[in-house]
Amino acid sequence: MNSDHAILHIKDQNPLVHTITNQVVANDVANVLLAIGASPIMAIAKEEVEEVTGMADALVINMGTLTSDSLESMILAGRQANAQGKPVILDPVGVGATTFRKNSAQKLFGNVDMTVIRGNASEIASLVGVSWQSKGVDSKDGATSPVDVAVSLAKKRHCIVAVSGKTDIVTDGTRVFAVSNGDQLMAKITGSGCMMSGIIGAFLGVVDGSDMLSRVVLAHAAFGIAGEWAADSGINGPGSFRSALIDVLHSLTDDDLTKHARIERIIQ
């Protein structure tokens, strides 16, 4: 898949990404957005989220440190984004862990149309009401696979769904892509998934008429390549890896993305 100048467009347009994010990793999400060429804003107060979303080019909603107040802000911001036709990315962190999170997700779906839902396989499976046992990327024996749950949720919510893992799955319910870029150290730092959701916001926040599914696929490849190169940059462990990841994202080019992305179309 050609990068179609995705990174250049981000750097040229400098999209403003409103991120109501996990407070544990807000700093890291802001830094990866800056590194890729976007501008982050992290407003969470219900008194201003609609106004901020009105100025933004994309909205990222992250349930990591969810509260009743932040849920209200997410709904207000999401409605504003929908009204203005702006992309909304949902990261349903830990959605299956508690009744509060499950109910909050349903409230979000009842009020906001999502453009992208990105989570791990367990989170995505929870949103379609199935228990999760990992069976590989594409199950051949009738068991539930990441592809199964992703396609099911995409059809149910009429949006793009991305399942993060050793191999990332991205689908709109019809077309399915597997992205195999990345490094195991990405699972050793807090918030790599939250960062990924932010990067999706940057890729969808540019105005260039490109296919949104392709943009989400490329976002995963870009972040995965950055993880690979950061791991190979002489780091000492997870701490220096985190810093190297931001550095690599800052220098990543469309040529790098086109040459090194490992993207496969899955035919069902």
- Say if CB 145 and CB 137 are below 8 A apart: yes
Measured distance CA(44)–CA(52) in Å, rounded: 9
The closest of 35, 97, 91, 98 to 59, measured between CA atoms, is 91
Residue 191 marked as a ligand binder: yes
Residue showing tokens 């499976």 = 125
Neighbouring C-beta atoms of residue 190, cutoff 10 Å: 14
Alpha carbon dihedral 3, 173, 109, 192, in 10-degree steps, equals -40
What is the spatial distance between Cα 149 and Cα 161, in angstroms, rounded to a whole number? 9
Q: Is 115 helix (H, G, I), strand (E, B) or coil?
A: coil
Listed residue (24, 77, 67, 17) closest to 46, CA to CA: 77
Distance CA 74, CA 62 (A): 9
> Residue written as tokens 């926040």?
205
Tell whether residue 42 is among the known ligand binding residues: yes
Residue 118 annotated as part of some ligand binding site: yes
Amino acid making up residue 171: T
Query: Which residues are documented as binding site for substrate?
Result: 42, 191
Query: Which residues are documented as binding site?
Result: 42, 118, 164, 191
Query: Which residues are documented as binding site for ATP?
Result: 118, 164
